[in-house]
Structure 1
Amino acid sequence: MSLPSTSSAPSRPELIEHLVSTRIAGDVATPRDNNLAHYRKLANGDRHYWLGLELGDRWTDEQDVLAVMAERCGVADDPDHRLGQDTIDPGLTVDALDRAAVRLRKAADDRQRVLFATGHPGGLLDVHSGVAAALRAAGCEIVRIPLGLTADQGVVVQLADVAMHERGATLWHTHSPEPMKEILDALQREGEPLPDLVFADHGWAGCAGQRGIDTIGFADSNDPALFLAEAEGTLAVTVPLDDHVLNPRYYEPMTAYLLATAGLTS
């Protein structure tokens, strides 16, 4: 599959076509039964699916979770659809990117401190590092994490301005909030100000939002917690997408669109 040229950002229709063709959105790989199982586990109070957020007893009905996911992610809203294909609405993905661009523009205009983190280094690392480079060029301070942090039987590292979890010399896929908790706690211990903005995904984003930090998060259709958090105002933006498609280069047009919309391209 050929990628759109990265010399210029795609238009909204071009990006939507690309998201669907690469299955970043549209008919995504995550099956319907997996989505519903995760919604049910979140509603039943399984904190693994809360992604660092404190949801209390506000989301104990699986159907309420499904309704939010249909509205904000674009999954099928039919509760009787239990198996087979599910979807992410590419229009909702682009709408969320537009909202994220507004917040990135504010960060650039105010020269804010921004922290980047991902639990999906195999898919989203280049998205995060590309946005970090653009904000650094615009005068933002990219938060450097303290050294020596450990979490979940691994270490918290920072490469290309992005915090990640490492175990056994391997960058680790994790939805855990613990690495972000360690970063924020360490910043406070060392007398460093907390970030003005966090750009992250999954538990990294959930933890930051729960701490009251403005947060832009990415989440898949089977990870409802960040969408619930945006609905409640705990997260600034949640971008729906398949967070680990076949080739990480498929995200390049999305990043180009985001940066162009934020006015962060040279």
Structure 2
Amino acid sequence: MPILSRPALVEHLVRTRIAGDVATPRDNNLSHYRKLANGDRHYWLGLELGDRWTDEQDVLAVMAERCGVNDDPAHRAGQDTIDPELTVDAIDRAAARLRKAAAGKERVLFATGHPGALIDAHSRVAAGLRAKGCDIVRIPGGLTADEGYVVQFADVAVFERGATLWHTHSPEPMNAILDGLEALGEPLPDLVVADHGWAGRAGQRGIDSVGYADCNDPALFIGEAEGTMQVTIPLDDHVIDPRSYEPLTDYLLDASGLL
């Protein structure tokens, strides 16, 4: 399949609802912004936000600027949006960081809290970096977190419980990996490419972190605004058909020089 041009990729993102009029409703977005502002650490995604974001309207302003949600505080229900141009802008920023990783043959860790949607996208980028001589982190065995296991498939760390891969926002699996590497005397990653609490906690621990984030997950966008995250890519992080992410991943690989 040929690599899509930027306009064609924007059109694809809107058609598949990865961006544009996304499935996440406005009231859900605002509820998450409010909970983050009220100090609910589940919504901090592994970041330490202190008392810097206690106003829901400040959170909304960041999300309008960096994700493209409706900036009208009176819009309380119904449709909300992700600006596909901002999505592609962020993919281009991520590509620049991946080019740096490839040039330096860096040590890179991939992880996802959305194994049903994003594992293939992460795995393909990992393969591209390995082909350029990067060291793709192999996580220690026997790691546990949140009453489950931290395991790795196709170079991507995921959370498993009851023989099932789980959707998780928790930062504890990333803590388990980083603590496990330190306990073995292995170097930490130079770069983490992930989402949810996996990405936020890596950034909080001082590692360059690139994360995918939905419009109801404001913490990673705040992390980029504050400089804790390197890049946060706005998109619906679980559309029905995971193959819908393939053109986006192709574009990222091409822009990164990894094809």
TM-score range, shorter chain: over 0.9
> How far, CA to CA, are the matches of 1:9 and 1:66 in structure 2?
34
> How far, CA to CA, are the matches of 2:184 and 2:51 in structure 1?
35
Q: Does 1:90 align with 2:84?
A: yes
Query: Cα deviation per residue 1:217-258 (whole Å; 9 max; x = unaligned)?
Result: 000000000000000000000000000001000000000000
Query: Cα deviation per residue 1:50-74 (whole Å; 9 max; x = unaligned)?
Result: 0010000000000000000000000
Residue number in structure 2 paired with 1:131: 125
> How far, CA to CA, are the matches of 1:144 and 1:123 in structure 2?
21
Q: Does 1:102 align with 2:96?
A: yes
- Number of residue pairs aligned between Structure 1 and Structure 2: 259
Residue number in structure 2 paired with 1:245: 239
The residue type equivalent to 2:107 in the other structure is R
Q: Does 1:34 align with 2:36?
A: no
The residue type equivalent to 1:188 in the other structure is E
> How far, CA to CA, are the matches of 1:250 and 1:264 in structure 2?
20
The residue type equivalent to 1:124 in the other structure is L
Query: Cα deviation per residue 1:11-60 (whole Å; 9 max; x = unaligned)?
Result: 00000000000000000000000000000000000000000100000000
Residue number in structure 2 paired with 1:147: 141
Residue number in structure 1 paired with 2:175: 181
Match of 1:158 among 152, 161, 166: 152
Give 1:9 shift. 1.2
Query: Cα deviation per residue 1:52-97 (whole Å; 9 max; x = unaligned)?
Result: 1000000000000000000000000000000000000000000000
> How far, CA to CA, are the matches of 2:228 and 2:47 in structure 1?
9
Query: Cα deviation per residue 1:125-156 (whole Å; 9 max; x = unaligned)?
Result: 11100100100111100000000000111100
The residue type equivalent to 1:30 in the other structure is T
> How far, CA to CA, are the matches of 2:257 and 2:50 in structure 1?
38
Q: Normalising by the residue count of structure 1, what TM-score does the alignment of the two structures yield?
A: 0.97
> How far, CA to CA, are the matches of 2:142 and 2:196 in structure 1?
23
Question: Unaligned 5+ residue runs, structure 1?
Answer: 1-6
Residue number in structure 1 paired with 2:66: 72
Give 1:8 shift. 2.2
Aligned with 1:57: secondary structure?
Answer: coil
> How far, CA to CA, are the matches of 2:133 and 2:186 in structure 1?
19
Residue number in structure 1 paired with 2:215: 221
Aligned with 2:152: secondary structure?
Answer: strand
The residue type equivalent to 2:38 in the other structure is N
> How far, CA to CA, are the matches of 1:254 and 1:138 in structure 2?
20
Query: Cα deviation per residue 1:139-183 (whole Å; 9 max; x = unaligned)?
Result: 100000000000111100000000000001001100100000000
> How far, CA to CA, are the matches of 1:19 and 1:52 in structure 2?
28
Question: Unaligned 5+ residue runs, structure 2?
Answer: none
Q: Does 1:118 align with 2:123?
A: no
Aligned with 2:47: secondary structure?
Answer: coil
Counting aligned pairs with the same residue, the percent is 78
Residue number in structure 2 paired with 1:168: 162
The residue type equivalent to 2:30 in the other structure is L
Q: Normalising by the residue count of structure 2, what TM-score does the alignment of the two structures yield?
A: 1.00
The residue type equivalent to 1:118 in the other structure is T
Match of 2:7 among 8, 13, 18: 13
CA RMSD of aligned residues (A): 0.4
> How far, CA to CA, are the matches of 2:230 and 2:110 in structure 1?
15
The residue type equivalent to 2:92 in the other structure is D
